[in-house]
């Protein structure tokens, strides 16, 4: 039964691509007793559900048998150590790319430019190309050897065999002095350099996907001060312990307030800028910020049980479960690669049998391998991504790699967060309800008094006045507001409970404003409320136009927010969304995205807060507004740097266009191979012509990709 299953998290070292993760996953799934296995390449963690019949040692053996390493004594929860794979692998690839490029450029120039050639230049070319093919290209050779040991082939196999064959044949021609032979050192070097460059871009983009979890983990505090003054490490904090939280400090863990009163900035969870007033008996969430007032909190949840830990878990699960759509080249490689190798071997055998000419036989066989070598295929995806993402950057759109482009293809629903996405994300004074004729004077006094408070609503009121008066006798009334003197006049600013009475008509006007989703703060002299200050998070000027642009692309738009229903209805109706879902927590947001997916929708999620991170990761396409938090940006697939919602429609359009270019590249690259291999096998294309044809194929891929530079908004 599922309840009897054990769960093991194993940290895997040495995975270089998503295909590696898939291979580990398949091997783990074949172990007796394993019910399910999931390998998250972003975190480097294999999560396995299994019965007691399979031990963790069996699982580790299944991983190491493939040539990967298992990190000892890792539970998979130390996010700061192994998020996003092995950083040293990325650096190693970077070094190999740099060395390969530095050596390949002179190799290519000497081989192709006749004026640069001199007696014996072939030996110089051989010396320059050899470390490129065998040291920089060892990535492909090592993968080939590992795969062959397990009876499988990949595109790495063809890269390895093609480049080694080109080098071996060239070495034979050079050493033996075969006049009719041609050397192909530069062909092998160029192939290694270009494909290695694409692999480095892929690894770099994939590693960054793990930064969302690291950023979440960094939100927590390191030490906690207990009520007796003792300072303890967060890891040593236990349920039931009581700790002190001073103004401006983060609350260490989830708990209940047992002493004091304050307002807490809980935007990490709610996504809303309005702080929550808390007092004795109220629950608080770890990593939220105590805005003002000292409080004592009793810990109710610690470690992996806290809300922050649960959000981290949600992001991990969503990233790990996201379908990694393999590139078309990888999908056919299981057939294409062995077929190409067999054709090369058959070509060699038939030419030897029919003609007995070793030179012509080997020339035709090598031509098959060279023409098969996927230079254009290797360029098709990374070059399209490079140009597309470059154009996106010019437009203020950051795209996180090829998987993102593929995931936009069938997106038919867009889910938008409210605060910071549709709205400005900051509180502003929108109106003054003033039955009194002295509203400007009262606003000046209220703004002056609130200038002494750090509360976000106070700042909105304070910013409404150009200048402030002299404040004395300032006092914070917990849960109600503030009182004091401004220019020797008694002034009170806060909730209804702060005042003994209200001027006629103020209550009705305030109720209407609150019904429309605004927050109303009252101000007045001598404990009588005389004006109402309407505070709201204003809608961005471009939001309505942006939503219309999304709908014009046949995308269904839903507003998803943690705010109350009234505010959500007001904002949603104003900007014209199709559906409105309000009053949801982070786990609810991710669950709603998942529900939409189960209903057959391909969902793009747009958000800017930490609370949006799980939903951004769960969505088929996560889009972060760049003015939001780093966590949301790292958890997303696309980032809108400007914060302008209109760029979301542009981003989706650009991503679809880029994917179309990449698919065109792949199609023509495959057509080229399918047509050229038979010609090479029949001896119509010798290796030199095959090399030129391969270059033309690559040139097409390059020129086709560069069309993206002209993409228009």
Selecting among 417, 537, 612, 620, the annotated active-site residue is 417
Whole-Å CA distances, 161 to 165, 224, 371: 6, 59, 12
Three-class secondary structure of residue 131 per DSSP:
helix
Which residues have a Cβ under 8 Å from the Cβ of 15 and sit 6 or more positions away?
A: 21, 24, 39, 41, 44, 68, 85, 86
Task: Report the C-alpha gap between 632 and 628 in whole angstroms.
Answer: 7
| Whether the Cβ atoms of residue 262 and residue 247 lie closer than 8 Å to each other | yes
Tell me how far apart the alpha carbons of residues 629 and 389 are, in angstroms, rounded to a whole number.
Answer: 21
Write the DSSP symbol of residue 612: G
**Rounded CA separation 259/170 (Å):** 81
Whether residue 405 contacts residue 664, with contact meaning beta carbons closer than 8 Å, is answered with no
Q: Give backbone dihedrals phi and psi of 608, rounded to 5 degrees, phi first.
A: -140, -5
Distances (CA, A) of 121 to 76, 132, 183, 190: 54, 17, 11, 18
Question: For residue 29, with 0-12 CB atoms within 10 Å meaning exposed, 13-18 middle and 19 or more buried, which class applies?
Answer: middle
Gyration radius of the chain's alpha carbons: 32
Sole residue written with tokens 């997303």 = 636
Nearest to 184 by CA among 408, 350, 373, 38: 373
Active-site residue 417, yes or no? Answer: yes
Buried b (16+ CB within 10 A) or exposed e, 229-248: eeeeeeeebeeebebbbeee
Report, as residue numbers or ranges, the catalytic residues. 417
């Amino acid at each position: 039964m599922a309840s009897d299953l054990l769960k093991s998290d194993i940290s895997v070292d040495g995975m270089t691509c998503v295909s590696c993760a898939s291979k580990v996953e398949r091997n783990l799934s074949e172990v007796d007793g394993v019910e399910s296995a999931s390998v998250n390449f972003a975190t480097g963690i294999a999560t396995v559900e299994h019965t007691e019949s399979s031990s963790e040692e069996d699982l580790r053996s299944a991983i190491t048998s493939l040539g990967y390493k298992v990190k000892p004594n890792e539970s998979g929860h130390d996010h700061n150590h192994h998020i996003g794979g092995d950083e040293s692998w990325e650096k190693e690839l970077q070094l190999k790319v740099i060395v390969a490029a530095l050596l390949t450029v002179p190799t290519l120039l000497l081989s192709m430019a006749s004026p640069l050639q001199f007696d014996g230049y072939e030996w110089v070319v051989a010396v320059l190309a050899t470390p490129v093919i065998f040291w920089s290209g060892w990535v492909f050779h090592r993968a080939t050897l590992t795969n062959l040991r397990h009876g499988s082939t990949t595109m790495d196999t063809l890269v390895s065999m093609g480049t080694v064959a080109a080098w071996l044949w060239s070495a034979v021609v050079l050493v033996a002095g075969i006049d009719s032979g041609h050397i192909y050192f530069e062909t092998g070097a160029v192939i290694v350099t270009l494909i290695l460059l694409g692999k480095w871009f892929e690894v770099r983009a994939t590693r960054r996907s793990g930064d969302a979890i690291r950023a979440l983990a960094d939100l927590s505090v390191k030490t906690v001060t207990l009520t007796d003054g003792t300072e303890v490490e967060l890891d040593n904090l236990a349920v039931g312990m009581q700790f002190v939280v001073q103004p401006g400090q983060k609350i260490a863990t989830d708990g209940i307030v047992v002493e004091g009163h304050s307002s807490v900035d809980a935007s990490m969870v709610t996504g809303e800028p309005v702080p929550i007033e808390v007092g004795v008996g109220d629950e608080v969430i770890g990593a939220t910020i105590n805005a003002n007032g000292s409080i004592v909190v009793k810990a109710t949840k610690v470690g992996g049980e806290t809300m922050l830990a649960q959000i981290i878990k949600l992001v991990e699960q969503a990233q790990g479960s996201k379908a990694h759509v393999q590139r078309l080249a990888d999908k056919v490689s299981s057939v294409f690669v062995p077929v190409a190798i067999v054709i090369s071997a058959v070509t060699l055998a038939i030419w030897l049998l029919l003609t007995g000419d070793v030179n012509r036989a080997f020339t035709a066989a090598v031509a098959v391998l060279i023409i098969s070598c996927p230079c254009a295929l290797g360029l098709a995806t990374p070059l399209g991504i490079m140009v597309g993402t470059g154009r996106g950057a010019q437009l203020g759109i950051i795209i996180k790699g090829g998987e993102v482009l593929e995931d936009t293809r069938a997106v038919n629903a867009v889910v938008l967060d409210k605060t910071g996405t549709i709205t400005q994300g900051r509180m502003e004074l929108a109106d003054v309800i003033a039955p009194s004729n002295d509203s400007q004077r009262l606003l000046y006094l209220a703004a002056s008094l609130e200038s002494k408070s750090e509360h976000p609503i106070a700042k909105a009121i304070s910013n409404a006045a150009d200048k402030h008066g002299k404040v004395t006798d300032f006092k914070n009334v917990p849960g109600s507001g503030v009182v004091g003197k401004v220019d020797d006049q008694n002034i009170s600013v806060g909730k209804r409970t702060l005042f003994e009475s209200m001027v006629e008509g103020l209550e009705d006007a305030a109720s209407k404003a609150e019904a429309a989703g605004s927050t109303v703060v009252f101000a007045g002299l001598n404990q009588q409320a005389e004006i109402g200050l309407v505070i709201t998070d204003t809608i961005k000027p471009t939001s309505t136009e942006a939503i219309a642009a999304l709908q014009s692309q046949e995308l269904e738009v839903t507003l998803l927010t943690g705010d109350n229903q009234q505010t959500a209805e007001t904002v949603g109706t104003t900007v014209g969304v199709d559906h409105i879902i309000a009053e949801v927590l982070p786990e609810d947001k991710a669950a709603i995205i998942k529900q939409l997916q189960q209903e057959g929708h391909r969902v793009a999620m747009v958000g800017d807060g930490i609370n949006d991170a799980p939903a951004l990761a769960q969505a088929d396409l996560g889009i972060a507004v760049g003015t939001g938090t780093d966590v949301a940006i790292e958890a997303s697939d696309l980032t809108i740097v400007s914060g302008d919602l209109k760029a979301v429609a542009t981003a989706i359009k650009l991503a679809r266009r880029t994917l179309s270019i990449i698919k065109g590249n792949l199609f023509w690259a495959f057509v080229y191979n399918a047509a050229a291999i038979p010609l090479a096998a029949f001896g119509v294309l010798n290796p030199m012509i095959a090399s030129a044809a391969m270059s033309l194929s690559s040139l097409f891929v390059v020129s086709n990709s560069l069309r993206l530079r002209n993409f228009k908004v």
